[in-house]
Amino acid sequence: MEKRRVVVTGVGAVTPIGNDAETAWDNAKKGVNGVAPLTRLNPEDFPVKIAAELKDFDVEKYIDKKEARKMDRFTHYAIAGAEMALQDANFTVDDTNAERVGVWIGSGIGGMETFETQYETYRTRGLRRVSPFFVPMMIPDMASGQVSIRFGTKGINTATVTACATGTNSIGDAFKVIERGDADVMISGGTEAPITKMSLAGFCANKALSLNPDPETACRPFDKDRDGFIIGEGAGIVILEEYEHAKARGAKIYAEIIGYGATSDAYHITAPAPNGEGAARAMKQALEDADVKPEEVDYINAHGTSTGYNDKYETAAVKTIFKDYAKDLLISSTKSMTGHTLGASGGIEAIFSVLAIRDSVVPPTIHLKNPDPECDLDYVANESREKDVTIAMSNSFGFGGHNATLVFKKVTD
């Protein structure tokens, strides 16, 4: 069966560097730092003093106040991103197309804040005071479910939970739904609201977070002085559409999605496999799916978390797949600006990848002052770079050994 072509026709995002995709992208190109002192929680309660929080996000722009109270923040972000993406795509779901439109939006940890607040209610005030919306607010599939309800989609409606690979897996799987003919349009990406007491406590306990209190130096992927990631929040949602369907309605096209790879390390619950073995297989699989040679790739939006093993092993994985060409690749970690938004990161970074193709600009890795000798590739340090990007790759790797890679291409025909 012939594969159907799939393109990106809309983007929507809420991020620590902008509450819409274009603002976030403009700030990414400028190297704007989204990390700041922690305000959502009391910093005196944690060894971590900084985070990449949303700034001035107004949920009532997208959801009625009463309805918003029945949803966790991760769902707020998904609805906002989906609404902006649909508007950007100039696409309306109606009775003529609803059964051919699906939603695939994931979240790494779902409604952690809801769980914490409702448990406290149960503990202090008893069972009768627990909200009847508790479970529907908390479960990770509810972002996808609420987006489907809000916009009336009646095709496949599902959610991926693969930790920090969630957004990339979601978009990759949604791509395959359209490619094989099961939908014409998919609303897809990732969303996360993880800046909560127990989430922060857990990441502090497993020593994944940076303890550097300086927002200007803490999040520094590929730098030898990095000491952990900075937790962030937000959502990145894309509209994927079958190519002929998009052309027939005169849609603008950002890029074509041409490859997807997904593998497992089968190694450890948190640590990546040595030398990025699983990550390398995901990149290889995505390139084979795309029918693209390694030397045709212009840019990689790296997972680049600012953790010791991840940055070193992702670099090793790139060298395994791209060999001598690895030194000619442009690679950057936009997490240096957004922080690590966990399940949302793949969605946000997919958007940055297609906008890099559109604008012929590669965003920088900021705060990279003292490169790790084992991270010796071109990470577009500190300033964006003009580059004709025809093919871009986006990587995401998650706890549990999940590896996911997407490949995007400029559309010329």
- CATH for 6-248 (3.40.50.12370, 3.40.47.10, 3.30.70.940, 3.30.365.10): 3.40.47.10
**Do residues 234 and 54 lie in contact, with contact meaning Cβ atoms separated by under 8 Å?**
yes
Give tens-digit pLDDT for 213-227. 999 999 999 999 999
Cβ–Cβ under 8 Å, residues 240 and 171: yes
Going from N- to C-terminal start, the domains of the chain cover: 6-248, 262-404
Query: Would you place residue 2 in the very low, low, confident or very high pLDDT band (cuts 50, 70, 90)?
Result: confident
Q: Are domains 6-248 and 262-404 of this chain identical in fold?
A: yes
The residue length of the chain stands at 413
Q: How far apart are CA 191 and CA 141, in angstroms?
A: 11
Domain at 262-404, CATH from 3.40.50.10300, 3.40.605.10, 3.40.30.10, 3.40.47.10: 3.40.47.10
Distance CA 167, CA 234 (A): 11
| Measured distance CA(143)–CA(74) in Å, rounded | 7
Name 119's Cβ contacts closer than 8 Å, sequence gap at least 6: none
Encoded tokens for 370: 């003292």
Per-residue pLDDT of 286-339, as tens digits, reads 999 999 999 999 999 999 999 999 999 999 999 999 999 999 999 999 999 999
Predicted model pTM: 0.98
SS3 assignment, position 236: strand
Between the alpha carbon of residue 21 and those of residues 84, 339, 348, the distances in Å are 8, 16, 8
Q: Model confidence over 125-166: pLDDT tens digits? A: 999 999 999 999 999 999 999 999 999 999 999 999 999 999
Token code pair at residue 315? 């670099």
Q: How far is Cα 147 from Cα 75, in angstroms, rounded to an integer?
A: 8
d(CA 191, CA 14): 9
Overall average pLDDT of the 233-239 stretch: 98
Query: Residue 17 is encoded by which pair of tokens?
Result: 């560097």
| 1 pLDDT higher than 80 | no
Residues with catalytic annotation? 164
pLDDT tens digit sequence for 357-381: 999 999 999 999 999 999 999 999 9
Rounded Cα distance between 47 and 195, Å, is 14
Six-digit token pair at 114?
């809801």
Q: Is 191 exposed, middle or buried (0-12, 13-18, 19+ CB in 10 A)?
A: buried
Pairwise CA distance, residues 162 & 404, whole Å:
9
- 177-199 average pLDDT score: 98
